[in-house]
Amino acid sequence: MIPRELQTRAINGPVPAILLALTLAWLALIIGAPLATVLVEAFSKGLDTFLATFGEPDALAAIRLTLLVAAIAVPLNCAFGLAAAWSIAKFEFQGKALLLTLIDLPLSMSPVVSGLVWVLLFGARGWFGHDLDILGIKVIFAVPGIVLGTIIVTVPLIARELIPLMAEQGADEELAATTLGAGGWTAFRRVTLPNIRWALLHGVLLCNARAMGEFGAVSVLSGHIRGLTNTLPLHVEALYNDYDFVGAFSAATLLAGLAIVTLVVKTVLEQLIRAGATAKPS
Amino acid sequence: MTLTIDGVYKQFGKFPALTSVSLEARDGEFLSLLGPSGSGKTTLLRVLAGLDKPDHGCVYLDGVDFLALSARERRVGLVFQQYALFRHMTVAKNIAFGLEVRPRRSRPSAAAIKQRVEELLALTQIEGLGGRYPAQLSGGQRQRVAVARALAVEPQLLLLDEPFGALDAKVRKELRDELRLIHDATGVTTILVTHDQEEAMALADRVVLMNQGRIEQIGTPAELDTAPATPFVFTFLGEVNRLPCEVHAAVARFEGFATPVITPADPVDGRGEALFRPDDTRLDAGPHAEGLPVRILEIRGRGSVRQIECQALSGHRLTAEVAEAPAAQFEVGQRVRLTARRVVLSAPGGAKPTPTPVAAPPLAQIAS
């Protein structure tokens, strides 16, 4: 493998410096400034007001709901992602390309549509709405709907992390484990899982960040009932619409903090994945 | 462990990969499955390992129905061409894997496992590498680890799928010799799949030569060499010259000489095509020599053997392999006589005669 330093050519002259300056200026404008605004606004009336935002029952309910949704959606997508990546990478079957396209679909679809499909299926006038009503199950404008909306939006994130890696690794190690007497679960736990652990964590992290931050699909499905069906992003919007700017931005700092933590952990994981892909005493 | 394979048939889609393959490996025998790609040798190995199920047929190991067992129950050591080592485990952990995944009551103690790993590291001559990861090893060392890992579970059968295919020539030869020593030390019944005839002939007690899902011949390397069962065996195991001939009473007659047919045993009289090896081919420059008149086109090679490329008047090109000293008497452009020691008929019994007639050129023309 070519050392990293040799892959990037050193270019002399003013062009790289100008490009770098432009990039930094653009990032400062597009990312730095809004992030700073969030913090400035959140603390504009002092620390007490900032903290008071999180004392409100509606805010606490929003945080709880966001955590609950992520706690359901992420493990489900993790299981699905593993199963899909396993079957696509380790087996040959017809319709593989179609399955791959389907997994990718939510990425190219507007989240609003991802939310609306559930309304069409389970809403009061939807295909199964009447039956659900008789059974007394409420999906739309309730927690199950929010979970469904979050799942559909985040479905590709873990599978896409795993498929290329598992395809590259092939199935020989699992076959070797089997002939050495390992059962399916042992082979998965002791051979497959360690080989994909960093990529899996990376996928879980992205999935979690998206699940907690999702607005579009959840907005369609939640019904915006304060204290009941508002997730944190929806709560921010609700506060903002009430002209409670300090409250809105304070809540937003939580989401921004999540983004920053995600970013740091993601960077660390990516280095671990790279280390695992080349040589690897771990 | 005696392995009996009886009438195994396996089809992939419409393509029959194995058609009624039967053979027996004796206890402690080293068998080699040899054949071109697509001959079914790897499929047969996968059937033995439990990775593929045959459509018909039986496999028994010491009388036990092997096909009724799953891959994990068979206790078969499998060595892959691409090593398939567990990349996140050290060499020692790789070797210990088969012992560590055993159910608690049949699992050896940690100390016993450690000792077994040390024994295997020594047997495969990679002592001191137990703490390394596969990525830190050379190809030859990785394949040694793979062999050690397969042997750790004291397999009833050791199966190797083109194990030296990814290695360079020098390491390949070294490892090949060692594999035979390891086999002799452990006494495990071993089956090696290879497309390299030299490898198969050098290593195995008996060679199973396969072609298009069938067994062409089973025999010791010497038997395959001296008594090839079919023209395919003969052509697969070495270089051949091809020359039309007349067959009569198991003797092939050529312009200027005749020689016995070794395969098939009872050839049909008539026209045929003879196959013979360059090292069974003799050239004679003497004035009264008998044989097919040819002209020398090219002399190649170095070391102790020369390849002399000749052309007959009929246009056929033939190669003779001659030792260095006698080769010195020949030169390019020289007209000499060619004879062959033993021939195989390309189509059994001369059933497929070559269209080229054996023209009898006037001898005077050659002599001039």
The residue length of chain B stands at 368
Structure confidence at residue A7 (pLDDT): 56
Judged by DSSP in three states, A193 sits in helix
Q: Which residues pair with B8 in a beta bridge?
A: B21
**pLDDT the model gives residue B350:** 39
Output phi, psi for A202, to 5 deg: -60, -45
CB B69 within 8 A of CB B51: no
B9 touches chain A (CB under 8 A): no
Contact across the interface for B101 and A176, Cβ inside 8 Å: no
Name the H helices within chain B: 41-49, 91-100, 110-123, 139-152, 169-186, 197-203, 221-226, 231-236, 324-327, 363-367
B 120-139: CB under 8 A from A: 133, 135-136
User: In this structure, what token pair is assigned to residue B102?
Assistant: 């055993």
What's the confidence (pLDDT) of residue A281? 43
pLDDT, position B275: 94
Question: Would you call A280 and B133 a contact, using CB atoms and an 8 Å cutoff?
Answer: yes
User: Which of A168, A173, A180 is the best residue to mutate to test the B interface, defined by the most B CB atoms within 10 Å of its own CB?
Assistant: A180
- The nearest alpha carbon in chain B to A197 belongs to B88
Separation in Å, CA of B210 to nearest CA in chain A: 25
Whether the model clears a pTM of 0.80, i.e. scores above it, the answer is: no
**How distant is the Cα of A281 from the closest Cα of chain B, in angstroms?**
6
Per-residue model confidence (pLDDT) at position B316: 93
Q: CA B54, CA B51: separation in Å to the nearest integer?
A: 10
| A171 within 8 A of A196, measured Cβ to Cβ | no
Q: Report which of A21, A180, A208 is spatially closest to residue B147, judged by C-alpha positions.
A: A180
Q: Where are the alpha helices (DSSP H) in B157-230?
A: 169-186, 197-203, 221-226
pLDDT at A5: 52
What six digits make up the tokens of B341? 């020691």
Chain A contact present for B166, CB below 8 A: no
| Contacts with B78 from chain A: Cβ below 8 Å | 175-176, 179
Contact B149 A194 (CB under 8 A): no
In this structure, the dihedral spanned by the alpha carbons of residues B206, B211, B214 and B215, taken in order and rounded to 10 degrees, is -20
- Among partner residues B50, B84, B135, which is closest to A172 by beta-carbon distance? B84
Task: Give pLDDT, residue B148.
Answer: 96
State how far the Cα of B350 lies from the Cα of B358, in Å rounded to an integer: 14
- Mean pLDDT by runs of 10 across the 368 residues of chain B is 93 90 94 93 94 93 92 92 92 96 92 95 93 93 95 94 88 91 94 93 94 94 92 93 92 91 87 93 89 93 89 93 89 93 74 41 42
Nearest to A140, CA basis, from A126, A153, A152: A126
Among B52, B66, B62, smallest CA distance to B11 is for B52
pLDDT of residue A276: 65
Residues of A in contact with B135 (CB under 8 A): 278-280
| pLDDT given at position A45 | 86
- Residues of chain A contacting B163 with CB distance shorter than 8 Å: none
* Radius of gyration of chain B from its Cα atoms, rounded to whole angstroms: 26
Which of A172, A178, A281 faces B133 most closely, judged by CB atoms?
A281
Enumerate residue ranges in chain A where pLDDT < 50: 1, 279-282
CA–CA dist B294, B337 (Å, integer):
6
Distance CA A176, CA B147 (A): 12
Q: What is the largest CA-CA distance in chain B?
A: 88
Rounded CA separation B345/A113 (Å):
74
ipTM of the complex as predicted: 0.79
Of A180, A278, A281, which has the smallest distance from its Cβ to B97's Cβ? A180
